[in-house]
Structure 1
Amino acid sequence: MVGRVGEAAVERPTRGRIESTLERIVEDNRFTIAVTFPVVGVVMLIAGRQGVLPAELAMNPYLLIGANLVMVSPLVAGLVPLLDRRATGGVAALALFTWGIELAGVLTGLPYGEFSYGIELGPMLAGLVPLGLPVFYFPILLNSYLLASLFLGETTVGRRFVLTLGTVLTLDLLLDPGAVALGFWAWDSPGAYYGVPAINYAGWLLSGSVATAILQVSFDHEAVLARLETCGFFLDDLVSFLLLWGLINAYFGNWVPVAVAASLGGVLLTSDWFDFDVL
């Protein structure tokens, strides 16, 4: 018994130091993480797509994952204090769901339609889907939940679910056209929306509903709201996402996704959350 109490006492200060270190690193480098990294990423990705840079550099899977981890670091630093056992279990369940639904998509064409990856996105699970897929998917889901929470505050679970899911679908309206233009992935039967078929969004409606439900039962919503009030960089990863994919879509002339990015960016800029001092 004494040993367990002693271990817990050691664990709490250790976790606290990790959390404070992460926060300090992110806080001291907010502009670099939220603005410089995505802008440099846009330049490299477009240069690689146009053959100006070797694809081995611009589209290097480990470089892509590493850069994404840097841009997602504000989200990670913001979430770490909220990770109790229930939330950690929910994140693990989301990872398993993410891999499972993507495997189903690749093997059966459902729920997203028949598609294939055009470039390597790191080590592959079962040789079919990227092992690092949660690194790319989680930010869309979590940022949608945070944005919904920011604007709804204390509200019913149903309203928060609807706005979170709607934001997830909106972010995919921005992501997929840019990814298709870069050659990240493509559908066997391209759709009218910049090569993206309607079935993809039906699939996101299904998978996003399940993922949002898992998320809602995993986190303490009151703790999330409190963290949003005190953590100034919590939504910086969403800024990176909008900037990265907004600029990529602008380069390729995908103006509807650009309008989506600009609209969501305007929402953030006019919210109480945004701090102009970071610029």
Structure 2
Amino acid sequence: MDRRDAETWLSAVVRENRFTIAVVFPLVGALMFVAGHEAWLPGWLARNPLLIIFGTLVMRSPLVAGLLPQIDRRAGIALVVLAAYTYGIEFLGVTTGFPYGRFHYQLELGPMLFGTVPAGLPVFFFPLVLNSYLLCLLLLGPHANSRLARLTASLAVVLVIDLVLDPAAVALGFWAYDGGGMYYGVPLSNYLGWVLSGVIAVGLVEFGFDWRTLRDRLDQCEFMLDDMVSFVILWGAMNAYFGNWIPVAIALFLFAGLRRIDRFDFVVGLPARETLR
């Protein structure tokens, strides 16, 4: 099996299991997190790091299948640099408090590098940036021709996504900020830090990929943003469980954006568009 065959196979698997991947998996994940929080299940099962990574990888599979045909040498280098940057900025943040504010992991999300940051960090980090960039290519329409518009809009969506993610993760005890914060235990410094780290991360995506080719791929690949669907369901549900209503409202805002570009069609039962790959 060559690369093209592997890409075609993965796309077929994802397409045939869209609802399971993008809806069932995040709902099961949310139930497992609630069960762990309420001590209905043993902690080792409800918050098992390997299960968390496995579920996350499954939910990432539409993004992976969508992007694989677009990854050439330039994009591969950009993603490697982005992975190294991800580890570096997180290690700096945990050990020094810059740029996000002082925080520490309370749950080991898989193997920890140097006992400090999760080895699987790119699995958790990449989609925040890549999904934001892809979503903006569709939402911007003709304005996507402007590099400034692409970078600014993508950074804004990264911040919006973290406004949903961080409060729920803190409530679940994934990590905690020393001294807490006014936004559901998250300090303003976290979001100021994301402005800095997000600019570099989005810039690497812009450098590595041809945005026109990505836009064409989004038109061909109806499931490419299903990982964003999973995100809205999982973290919207977790914030609702904890009564974090501002993040819930923001998750609904993201849902509205996905509906606007017809990326929730398979959930409401409308036929998905046919694609060649």
TM-score (norm 2): 0.94
Aligned pairs for 1:89-100 within 5 A:
89-100=77-88
Runs of 4+ in 1 over 3 A off after TM superposition: none
Contact 2:139 2:257 in 1 (8 A): no
Unaligned residue ranges in structure 2 (runs of 5+): 273-277
**1:143 corresponds to:** 131
Q: Does residue 269 in structure 1 map to residue 259 in structure 2?
A: yes
Give the count of matched residue pairs. 267
Structure of larger gyration radius: 1
**2:101 corresponds to:** 113
Displacement of 1:189 after TM fit?
Answer: 1.2
Displacement of 1:74 after TM fit?
Answer: 0.1
Displacement of 1:275 after TM fit?
Answer: 2.6
TM-score (norm 1): 0.93
Match of 1:159 among 144, 149, 155: 149
How many percent identity over aligned positions?
Answer: 54
Q: What RMSD, in angstroms, separates the aligned Cα atoms of the two structures?
A: 1.2
Unaligned residue ranges in structure 1 (runs of 5+): 1-12
User: Mean alpha-carbon deviation: is it higher for 112-121 or for 24-33?
Assistant: 112-121
Q: Does residue 201 in structure 1 map to residue 191 in structure 2?
A: yes
1:6-25 deviations in Å (ceiling 9; x for gaps): xxxxxxx7111000000000
**1:212 corresponds to:** 202
Q: Does residue 250 in structure 1 map to residue 206 in structure 2?
A: no
Displacement of 1:221 after TM fit?
Answer: 1.1
d(CA) in 2 for partners of 1:29, 1:114: 40
1:130-163 deviations in Å (ceiling 9; x for gaps): 0100000101110000001112244111100000
Contact 1:143 1:238 in 2 (8 A): yes
d(CA) in 2 for partners of 1:248, 1:187: 19
**1:168 corresponds to:** 158
d(CA) in 1 for partners of 2:59, 2:43: 21
d(CA) in 2 for partners of 1:106, 1:278: 46
**1:56 corresponds to:** 44
Match of 2:181 among 185, 191, 198: 191
d(CA) in 1 for partners of 2:95, 2:262: 44
Contact 2:229 2:264 in 1 (8 A): no
Contact 2:167 2:247 in 1 (8 A): yes
